Structure 1
Amino acid sequence: MADTTGTATPEAAVEHGEDGVRRRDFINIAAIGAAGVGGASVLLPLISQMAPSEDVLAESSTEVDISAIEPGQAIKAIFRKQPLFVRRLTEKEIAEAGAVNAGSLRDPQTLEERTKEGHRDILVTMGVCTHLGCVPLGAAEGEVKGEFGGYFCPCHGSHYDTAGRIRKGPAPTNLEVPEYVFTSDTVIQAG
């Protein structure tokens, strides 16, 4: 209602929404809030489905007990669906690997760079040839170890030494050393 002077009374201002929160503002805020909740309810399942499943997380690391490996022996384990070689080097193999001039190698690395401090006798490598992905021989008893006493890839003739370094053949790099830690003196965890 208007008074005789032509100005709006407070009752009329409220009716026309000129004072305080208007009905249109409330509807806008409610619509934006509903859209935000709806968007979050769509995005959360999409984002969570990209997380790795429990079986994938279980395969992301592998524990290997090395207590039964005698000097000069190697074992095979599985890490991320690929072979993992764990070899306990003899004093002679450690000396031979140390005697090689790393600068003369195709992929120069010393034995110390490929093993953990305090565990120079334990070499952990992926059992996959770096040429075309074959599995080299030399980890099991009686297998051909190649000209340098380490591993031999029968697919194309790559020879690796006791430190898993490429010495002859088409492989471009040494056998890969995965990330691993000693969780105790007799157990390693790869991954």
Structure 2
Amino acid sequence: MATLEETNAAIVEGDESLRRRDFINIAAVSFAGVGAVAVALPLINQMNPPADVLALASTEVDISKIAPGQAIKTSWRKQPVFVRNLTPQEVQQANAVPLSELRDPQTLAERTKPGKENWLITLGVCTHLGCVPLGVGEGENRGDYGGYFCPCHGSHYDTAARIRKGPAPLNLMVPEYAFSSDTVVSIG
């Protein structure tokens, strides 16, 4: 039979091995945790938008040189944007269309800002399959309704960029925008 001193020595030795084992386990788990964070951080960080996209989150457009009846094409978030200065006749023509004739019923007032009904700002992306419609440049085909024409599949938009004929299901989208001054519009 073991003496009391031998039993106490075995208990002390067992406690030391338990402490060492606990330390090794804690160190291994900590090391694995640091490794997991080191791997996960770049994976999560790569999901953030790149700097060039953040820089294009909004853009300002000088509209002072756009004469009535003319339009320009600019870029916002790597997509074309049409900025059109409607003539009084085009405004009347758009307002005269009964909403019952429209596939995606919207008035011109819903698509423009109050007091700035002559300024129509839309994304230049056809709602059918994403082609860029014609109608901005001088001499381009504006379709049967005097607005925009998508050459890919034949969608026709009126002067308020509302779909009137063809496969496109919706009007050209109007992005968020605000007039910073009488000559500058901020898109986005």
Same fold (TM over 0.5): yes
**Alpha-carbon distance between aligned partners in 2 of 1:159 and 1:105, rounded to the nearest angstrom:** 12
Match of 1:107 in 2: 104
Match of 1:17 in 2: 15
Question: Does the aligned pair in 2 maintain the 1:67–1:186 contact within 8 Å?
Answer: yes
Q: Flag the structure with higher helix content.
A: 2
Deviation, 1:48, is 1.5
**Alpha-carbon distance between aligned partners in 2 of 1:68 and 1:2, rounded to the nearest angstrom:** 104
Count residues in correspondence: 186
**Alpha-carbon distance between aligned partners in 1 of 2:149 and 2:14, rounded to the nearest angstrom:** 89
1:143 matches 2:170: no
Deviates more, 1:131-140 or 1:22-31: 131-140
Match of 2:113 in 1: 116
1:6-45 superposed matches below 5 A: 13-17=11-15, 22-45=19-42
Amino acid at match of 2:163: I
**Alpha-carbon distance between aligned partners in 1 of 2:28 and 2:151, rounded to the nearest angstrom:** 68
State, as a whole percentage, how many aligned pairs show the same letter: 66
Deviation, 1:114, is 1.4
Task: Give the unaligned 5+ runs of structure 2.
Answer: none
Deviation, 1:76, is 0.9
Query: CA offsets, 1:135-162, max 9 Å, x none?
Result: 3222123333233221223444332111
Match of 2:127 in 1: 130
Deviation, 1:14, is 4.0
**Alpha-carbon distance between aligned partners in 1 of 2:100 and 2:3, rounded to the nearest angstrom:** 98
TM-score normalised by length of structure 1: 0.79
Structure 1 vs Structure 2 CA RMSD: 2.8
* Among candidates 94, 113, 116, match of residue 91 of structure 2: 94
Q: SS of the counterpart of 1:116?
A: coil
Query: CA offsets, 1:109-140, max 9 Å, x none?
Result: 11122123443221111223333433322212
